[in-house]
Amino acid sequence: MFGLDPQFKTLTADGQGATTVRQRDRLLRAVMQQGFDQETKGRKVARCSELDIAETADVLFSASGEPRLPDEVFYRLRWGGLFVYVGSHEGKVQRLAELFEPGRGFVLERPVEPLWASPLGLRFAGLAKRGYFFAARRTHLVQPGEFTDRFTYDVHLAPIRPHSEQPISAQQRYVVEKTVPSEADILERLRKKNPEAEEADLRSRAHKLVDHVFPTFLTREAAMLQILQRDLLPEDRQRVPTALKVEKDERGFVRKLWMNWLRIGGPVLSQIQFAHQAAQLLTVLHERAQVVHLDLRADNLVITEHGVGFVDFGSSVRVGEQLEQSPMLHSLFEQMMRTSHIQRMLGRMIDDGRVTNETITAVHQKVDKTLDTFYLAVLINKPHGNPMLNHLIEVDEDSAQARALSALTAAILRPKNPQHAAFKTAADVLRGIRRIEARFEPAAA
């Protein structure tokens, strides 16, 4: 499973003298026998020294001489990924393991354990210890203390106690915990984004966001997820989160939401498969559940064993929902429609002529399901907007299918007759994708 990296000739093993590459490789092979079969099945497994700078893995093994500190391995792991370290000196392995704690974005899943010389990893009388290892899981989307425009809420994996003692997958042992961020965190974020702003103004904005805005959207997300689980078919429910539990404040606003973990992984999809599944899910979202996502950025897509899924429904609305009946909601959504990533992109593309479809231009800065259709058209042509999904979508820009999808995107955004466009809804886009699939079926056969 592990190839030898030719750049390593000798390594120092935890200060205990020279360890050859062959010896280190034996340690890594031994630790693979310690019950990681279920974790590694169907997942990308790698050694730290094997990964390129931009590569990530689901399970990452490391030994002395390779990256091993929490900050060094955090972004080499996919969210929810497992880091396994093996070394020969118990004390040093123990001190390293103690660094992998929630404050660094990890949970220590398997404390330091010995490796035995038995080929099966079993302990028998007279056998010597081969080394020591521990396993830690990356539970945070971003490192604690780091701020990014991609994620606003505090989102991390929280371990749960399984009801059964039988071996279960990591996905069954963790849930997603989404929490309204603290006022201090939001204030620090605002300071970094607005260094020239008055402190009093920043504090006022931070308080409003934490006390009012974020709880409102988290409360709506919990409600939308209930609607999706009620109205979608079973096969589609698996591709959106399920609300498991909420924690409310004294006003009834949700401050913390627990959801099932839609772990990224599964079979690699072709670009046309990705496009079909995304369009199909959006169609049932609009037509069966009557829910409009409104923030269908690439960051809010996942690919799991069940296919393409959508997350983050905090900005969603019901089809035909009368937001103006609530001055508070009307004001929040009006502001969001001016400042959201998708609306700003739509505005730029209208200005430079990349969008002329009048059904789409009419929803600029408005709450409408056509906004989802607009971004779907962008996604099917450029599906690699989310770096966490790149390894799961196969794109060959020179292929006939990619060119056909590009032509479809152009027909959606810039139709020959902008006033009477053929593509207005997600269902229209899905039909266009199916026509492309039918065109290539004989060649595939």
Q: What is the pLDDT of residues 30-53, one digit of tens each?
A: 777 777 877 888 788 888 888 887
**Confidence (pLDDT) at 239:** 97
Q: From the CB of residue 352, how many other CB atoms can be counted at a distance below 10 Å?
A: 8
Question: What beta strand segments (E) does 213-260 contain?
Answer: 243-248, 254-260
**Which of 234, 261, 288 delimits the end of a domain?**
261
**Confidence (pLDDT) at 12:** 32
Answer yes or no: is 377 within a domain: yes
- Taking Cα atoms as reference points, which of 134, 119, 49 lies closest to residue 86? 134
- The helix (run of H) or strand (run of E) holding residue 129 is strand 129-138
**Confidence (pLDDT) at 168:** 65
Distance (Å, whole) CA 148 – CA 189: 8
Same-domain pairing of 256 and 275? no
Most confident of 143-152, 207-216, 380-389: 207-216
Answer yes or no: is 5 within a domain: no
Please state whether beta strands 393-394 and 269-270 pair in parallel, antiparallel, or not at all (unpaired).
Answer: parallel
Burial of 164 (0-12, 13-18, 19+ CB in 10 A): exposed
Distance (Å, whole) CA 432 – CA 301: 21
- Taking Cα atoms as reference points, which of 328, 306, 329, 331 lies closest to residue 318? 329
Same-domain pairing of 21 and 68? yes
**Confidence (pLDDT) at 27:** 64
Same-domain pairing of 329 and 376? yes
Predicted confidence (pLDDT) per residue in 408-435, tens digit: 999 999 999 999 999 999 999 999 999 9
- Select the more confidently predicted residue: 130 or 79: 79
Question: Which pLDDT band, with edges at 50, 70 and 90, does 373 fall under?
Answer: very high
Same-domain pairing of 436 and 314? yes
Phi, psi of 176 (to 5 degrees): -90, 125
Q: CB pairs under 8 A, 24+ apart, for 183-186?
A: 183/207, 183/210, 183/211, 185/147, 185/154, 186/210
| Helical residues (DSSP H) of 15-144, grouped into ranges | 21-31, 37-40, 70-73, 90-97
CATH number of domain containing 109: 3.40.50
- Select the more confidently predicted residue: 2 or 334: 334
| Whether the Cβ atoms of residue 65 and residue 7 lie closer than 8 Å to each other | no
Cross-strand bridge partners of residue 307: 304
CA atoms within 13 A on the CB side of 392: 28
Least confident of 90-99, 128-137, 196-205, 279-288: 128-137
- The helix (run of H) or strand (run of E) holding residue 122 is none
Same-domain pairing of 100 and 157? no
**Confidence (pLDDT) at 266:** 84
DSSP string, 311-327: ---TT-EETT--GGGSH
Answer yes or no: is 438 within a domain: yes
**Cα dihedral sign for 263, 269, 274, 278?**
negative
Same-domain pairing of 33 and 115? yes
**Which of 117, 138, 159 delimits the end of a domain?**
138
Same-domain pairing of 294 and 417? yes
Answer yes or no: is 242 within a domain: yes
Structural domain boundaries, residue 181: 147-261
Characterize 323-336 residue by residue with b for buried, 16 or more Cβ atoms within 10 angstroms of its Cβ, and e for exposed: beeeeebeebbeeb
| Whether the Cβ atoms of residue 86 and residue 113 lie closer than 8 Å to each other | no
Q: What is the CA radius of gyration of the chain?
A: 25
204: helix, strand or coil: helix
Same-domain pairing of 117 and 57? yes
Same-domain pairing of 254 and 162? yes
Q: Over the chain, what is the mean pLDDT? A: 87
**Confidence (pLDDT) at 445:** 40
**How many structural domains compose the chain?**
3
Same-domain pairing of 280 and 352? yes
Percent of the chain predicted with pLDDT > 90:
67
Answer yes or no: is 2 within a domain: no
**Confidence (pLDDT) at 15:** 37
Distance (Å, whole) CA 231 – CA 223: 12
**Confidence (pLDDT) at 248:** 97
77: helix, strand or coil: strand
pLDDT mean over 203-229: 96
Structural tokens at position 397: 């820009």
- Select the more confidently predicted residue: 121 or 250: 250
**Confidence (pLDDT) at 442:** 62
Structural tokens at position 321: 């929902």
**Confidence (pLDDT) at 45:** 86
**Confidence (pLDDT) at 3:** 35
- Taking Cα atoms as reference points, which of 312, 313, 315, 215 lies closest to residue 255? 215
| Whether the Cβ atoms of residue 413 and residue 259 lie closer than 8 Å to each other | no
**Confidence (pLDDT) at 350:** 97
Examine the pLDDT at 285 and tell me if it is beyond 90.
yes
Examine the pLDDT at 23 and tell me if it is beyond 80.
no
Predicted confidence (pLDDT) per residue in 123-171, tens digit: 444 444 678 999 999 999 988 877 766 668 899 999 987 665 566 677 7
Phi, psi of 345 (to 5 degrees): -65, -45
Same-domain pairing of 414 and 271? yes
- Taking Cα atoms as reference points, which of 223, 238, 377, 228 lies closest to residue 288? 228
Same-domain pairing of 209 and 294? no
pLDDT mean over 19-23: 56
Structural tokens at position 19: 């360890």
- Taking Cα atoms as reference points, which of 128, 130, 148, 132 lies closest to residue 140? 148
**Which of 261, 291, 323 delimits the end of a domain?**
261
Question: Which pLDDT band, with edges at 50, 70 and 90, does 17 fall under?
Answer: very low
332: helix, strand or coil: helix
Examine the pLDDT at 396 and tell me if it is beyond 90.
yes
